[in-house]
Amino acid sequence: MADRAVGIPIVKEGLPFVGGLAGSTLLCVLGGWTIPAVVSGGFLLFTGWFFRNPSRTIPQQPNVVVSSGDGKVIAIEEEFEPRYLKEKSIRVTVFLNVFDVHVNRMPCAGTVEGVSYQPGQFLVASKPEATLRNEQNAVMLKTESGAKVLCVQVAGLIARRIVCWVGQGDRVQRGERFGLIRFGSRMDTFLPLGSKICVSIGDRVKGGETIVGELR
């Protein structure tokens, strides 16, 4: 599957917000309304920053798994994943605050075996119970070696829209952009037991660039 967001400085899902605020700011300036213009301009700058779509240097080492999102590693847990993998795995959770890049990237190359959207609550994404209770979208990947890697977009307290650009049967590449979550959220990546974990809780990571694990 071709990476549909390559070369675009702002993802297209953000263009209506940026365009609307740009129009509002311009009207305020033309009308001589200084304070509304400043406020609208501030929201315009924040919105453009939020929907930014930076390029990344994708690691080329074999078998490595990269972070699916920008943010802070808040959990590394060995646990049973009951809905999709139905087996024990290692969950690496990255929390994205409103200032992080929210474009999501594939953790590894492979074939999309399934995409499953789950409506739910909008608890603070850093809470452990958000793993099962929040609105989310799960993407199941199978590598050429047969390893199963699950990538889950989890909405947060402010987020109200999960976007996913891939579907079952798509061939994807490591670091490829595949979606985004609007506005604060988290990414859960489930790796097979025995995988080498290359990050620690508290680490700051970059989607598509930081190696979080190595498949064995």
Catalytic site residues?
Answer: 185
Pairing of strands 110-118, 87-96: unpaired
Closest Cα partner for 94 from 118, 116, 71? 71
Structure token pair of residue 41: 């301009």
Q: Which residues contact 20 (CB under 8 A, 6 or more apart)?
A: none
Phi-psi region of 209 (alpha: psi -120 to 50; beta: other; left: phi over 0): alpha
**Rounded Cα gap, residues 5 and 159, in angstroms:** 21
Phi-psi region of 25 (alpha: psi -120 to 50; beta: other; left: phi over 0): alpha
Neighbour count for residue 127 (Cβ, 10 Å): 14
Contact of 162 with 125, CB cutoff 8 Å: no
In our burial notation (b when 16+ CB lie closer than 10 A, e otherwise), range 93-121 reads: bbbbbeebbbbbbbbbbbebeebeebeee
